[in-house]
Amino acid sequence: MKCFADKGTGISALKLAALLGLAAAIQVAGADMALAQGSGGGSGAFAPLQTAVQMIVDFITGPFGRLLAIIAVIGLGFLAFAGRLSWFTAGAVIVGIGLVFGAPTIVDEMIAAVGQ
Protein backbone atom coordinates (compact mmCIF):
# COMPACT_ATOMS: atom_id res chain seq x y z
CA MET A 1 0.00 0.00 0.00
CA LYS A 2 1.45 3.35 -1.03
CA CYS A 3 0.65 6.43 1.01
CA PHE A 4 2.32 9.21 -0.94
CA ALA A 5 2.86 8.11 -4.51
CA ASP A 6 5.04 10.56 -6.43
CA LYS A 7 6.02 9.43 -9.94
CA GLY A 8 6.62 5.84 -8.96
CA THR A 9 8.59 6.58 -5.80
CA GLY A 10 6.53 6.41 -2.67
CA ILE A 11 6.75 5.77 1.02
CA SER A 12 5.11 2.58 2.13
CA ALA A 13 2.74 2.65 5.07
CA LEU A 14 5.18 0.57 7.13
CA LYS A 15 8.05 2.99 6.50
CA LEU A 16 5.82 5.95 7.33
CA ALA A 17 4.70 4.32 10.58
CA ALA A 18 8.31 3.53 11.51
CA LEU A 19 9.35 7.12 10.79
CA LEU A 20 6.51 8.54 12.89
CA GLY A 21 7.30 6.09 15.69
CA LEU A 22 10.95 7.13 15.67
CA ALA A 23 9.99 10.81 15.79
CA ALA A 24 7.66 10.15 18.73
CA ALA A 25 10.37 8.20 20.57
CA ILE A 26 12.85 11.05 20.11
CA GLN A 27 10.31 13.52 21.48
CA VAL A 28 9.60 11.35 24.52
CA ALA A 29 13.29 10.73 25.18
CA GLY A 30 14.05 14.43 25.07
CA ALA A 31 11.21 15.41 27.38
CA ASP A 32 12.38 13.54 30.50
CA MET A 33 14.46 16.41 31.85
CA ALA A 34 11.64 18.92 31.43
CA LEU A 35 9.08 16.59 33.01
CA ALA A 36 11.35 15.92 35.98
CA GLN A 37 11.19 19.57 36.99
CA GLY A 38 7.50 19.39 37.94
CA SER A 39 6.87 19.10 41.67
CA GLY A 40 3.43 17.47 41.68
CA GLY A 41 0.42 18.99 43.35
CA GLY A 42 -1.22 20.08 40.12
CA SER A 43 1.93 21.16 38.33
CA GLY A 44 3.73 19.19 35.71
CA ALA A 45 2.98 17.82 32.31
CA PHE A 46 -0.52 16.57 33.10
CA ALA A 47 -1.80 19.73 34.83
CA PRO A 48 -3.81 20.92 31.78
CA LEU A 49 -5.35 17.48 31.36
CA GLN A 50 -6.15 17.27 35.07
CA THR A 51 -7.79 20.70 34.92
CA ALA A 52 -9.90 19.72 31.91
CA VAL A 53 -11.05 16.46 33.49
CA GLN A 54 -11.84 18.24 36.78
CA MET A 55 -13.97 20.72 34.83
CA ILE A 56 -15.92 17.80 33.33
CA VAL A 57 -16.46 16.25 36.77
CA ASP A 58 -17.58 19.60 38.19
CA PHE A 59 -19.96 20.05 35.25
CA ILE A 60 -21.56 16.62 35.71
CA THR A 61 -21.79 16.72 39.50
CA GLY A 62 -22.67 20.41 39.67
CA PRO A 63 -25.86 22.31 38.94
CA PHE A 64 -26.23 20.85 35.43
CA GLY A 65 -26.12 17.28 36.73
CA ARG A 66 -28.55 18.19 39.51
CA LEU A 67 -30.99 19.57 36.93
CA LEU A 68 -30.70 16.39 34.85
CA ALA A 69 -31.40 14.30 37.95
CA ILE A 70 -34.46 16.42 38.74
CA ILE A 71 -35.72 15.99 35.17
CA ALA A 72 -35.17 12.21 35.42
CA VAL A 73 -37.18 12.02 38.65
CA ILE A 74 -39.92 14.16 37.09
CA GLY A 75 -39.95 11.74 34.16
CA LEU A 76 -40.37 8.86 36.60
CA GLY A 77 -43.27 10.74 38.16
CA PHE A 78 -45.00 11.13 34.80
CA LEU A 79 -44.46 7.44 34.04
CA ALA A 80 -45.94 6.49 37.41
CA PHE A 81 -48.86 8.85 36.83
CA ALA A 82 -49.54 7.19 33.46
CA GLY A 83 -49.25 3.72 34.98
CA ARG A 84 -46.26 2.81 32.82
CA LEU A 85 -43.50 2.94 35.42
CA SER A 86 -41.22 -0.06 35.43
CA TRP A 87 -39.70 -0.56 38.85
CA PHE A 88 -36.52 -1.72 37.14
CA THR A 89 -36.28 1.64 35.36
CA ALA A 90 -37.03 3.53 38.56
CA GLY A 91 -34.35 1.58 40.42
CA ALA A 92 -31.84 2.12 37.63
CA VAL A 93 -32.46 5.89 37.66
CA ILE A 94 -32.15 6.10 41.44
CA VAL A 95 -28.98 3.98 41.54
CA GLY A 96 -27.55 6.00 38.63
CA ILE A 97 -28.19 9.29 40.43
CA GLY A 98 -26.57 7.89 43.55
CA LEU A 99 -23.51 6.74 41.63
CA VAL A 100 -23.09 10.00 39.72
CA PHE A 101 -23.29 12.25 42.76
CA GLY A 102 -21.62 9.79 45.12
CA ALA A 103 -18.72 9.01 42.79
CA PRO A 104 -16.17 11.33 44.45
CA THR A 105 -16.96 9.92 47.90
CA ILE A 106 -16.95 6.33 46.62
CA VAL A 107 -13.55 6.77 44.97
CA ASP A 108 -12.11 8.52 48.04
CA GLU A 109 -13.29 5.67 50.28
CA MET A 110 -11.81 3.07 47.93
CA ILE A 111 -8.47 4.89 47.91
CA ALA A 112 -8.54 5.17 51.71
CA ALA A 113 -9.30 1.45 52.03
CA VAL A 114 -6.34 0.47 49.86
CA GLY A 115 -3.99 3.11 51.23
CA GLN A 116 -1.88 5.61 49.41
SS (H, E, C) the chain: CECCCECCECCEHHHHHHHHHHHHHHHHHHCHHHHCCCCCCCCCCCHHHHHHHHHHHHHHHCHHHHHHHHHHHHHHHHHHHCCCCCHHHHHHHHHHHHHHHHHHHHHHHHHHHHCC
User: What is the model's pLDDT at position 44?
Assistant: 84
User: What is the model's pLDDT at position 18?
Assistant: 76
- What residue spans define the domains of the chain? 1-36, 43-116
User: What is the model's pLDDT at position 19?
Assistant: 73
Tell if the pTM clears 0.85, that is, is over it. no
User: What is the model's pLDDT at position 60?
Assistant: 94
User: What is the model's pLDDT at position 28?
Assistant: 65
Flag residues of the chain having pLDDT under 50. Answer: 5
